[in-house]
Structure formats: C-alpha cells, structure tokens
Structure 1
Amino acid sequence: MLEFDRITFDPAIMGGRACIRGMRIPVSVILGQIAHGAMPDEVLADYPDLEPDDLRQALLYAAWLTQEEIHL
C-alpha cells in the first residue's frame, strides 16, 4: 500500500471514514466536489484548512482504491 500520510481513519471522527489529517473533512466530500466540476481552488476556498497536497493525496487514495481486483 502507498503511504497516505494525509489520510486518517479514526473511529471517533466521522465514524472512522477516510478524512484529511484528522479533520472532519471526509475524502469522499473532496472527491465529490471535484467529480461535480469544482476546480481545486474552489475546493480550497470552501475548506480553508485544506492544502493543495491534501487534494492530491485524496485523488491518489481514490486511484489506489480503484486498483482492487474484483473476482466474479
């Protein structure tokens, strides 16, 4: 597995969902905004605590997740 130092999992924060740096900002929210057409600067403006590297790592994490093999 790649090292995702900005992606955290804590049962006490958002029920253990993948979040950015222990904040209550789920990776899925960031990815959803980008998928719906938001530009990185818009996401960063909506979440001032985020950094550009947080967005990059969220995308890398999503790409890593989609590499899983499905056996039917």
Structure 2
Amino acid sequence: MQNLTRITRNPEVMGGKPCIRGMRVTVGTIVCLMASGHSANDILKVYPYLEEADIHEALAYETGCLIINTRP
C-alpha cells in the first residue's frame, strides 16, 4: 500500500479504527458517505475541517485494504 500520511490509527481514538489525521472521522465514514452517493464537496460541507486530500487518501486506503484482502 502506498504511503498515506493522512490516515492514522490510535487505539484511543475511535477504538483504533483508521481515521483522518487523528480526528474522530473514520475512513469508514468517508467511504460510506461516498457509497451513499455523496460527493467530496458534500462531505467537505459537513466536515469543513477536512481537506479534499483527506477524502482521496481515505478512498485510497480503503481500496488498498480491499485489494490486500481479495482472494482469487
């Protein structure tokens, strides 16, 4: 998986789930919002402290996890 500097994991933040820059916004939250049809701009309006690069890294992180866990 590529070096993703914006995705952090800390057992004391959101139970150790992958989060955006140590904040209480999980990668899963971003992925679920996108899967529900929300755009990056929609997400940035709800979470104004996020940056577009945070969303891109969250999606890249999740994609990497899916690729690693996929079996032929």
Q: TM-score range by the shorter chain?
A: over 0.9
Q: Map residues 27-42 of structure 1 onto 2, 5 A cutoff.
A: 27-42=27-42
Q: Please, which runs of 5 or more residues in structure 1 have no aligned partner?
A: none
Q: Which consecutive aligned stretches of 4+ in structure 1 deviate over 3 angstroms post-superposition? A: none
The TM-score, its normalising length taken from structure 2, stands at 0.92
Give the number of the structure whose residues are more often helix, by fraction.
Answer: 2
Q: Any gaps of 5 or more consecutive residues in structure 2? A: none
Q: Distance in 2 between matches of 1:66 and 1:27?
A: 13
Measured on the aligned residues, the alpha-carbon RMSD in Å equals: 1.1
**2:71 paired with 1:70:** yes
- Residue identity in the other structure for 2:3: E
Counterpart Cα distance in 1 of 2:55 and 2:61: 10
- Matched-pair identity in %: 38
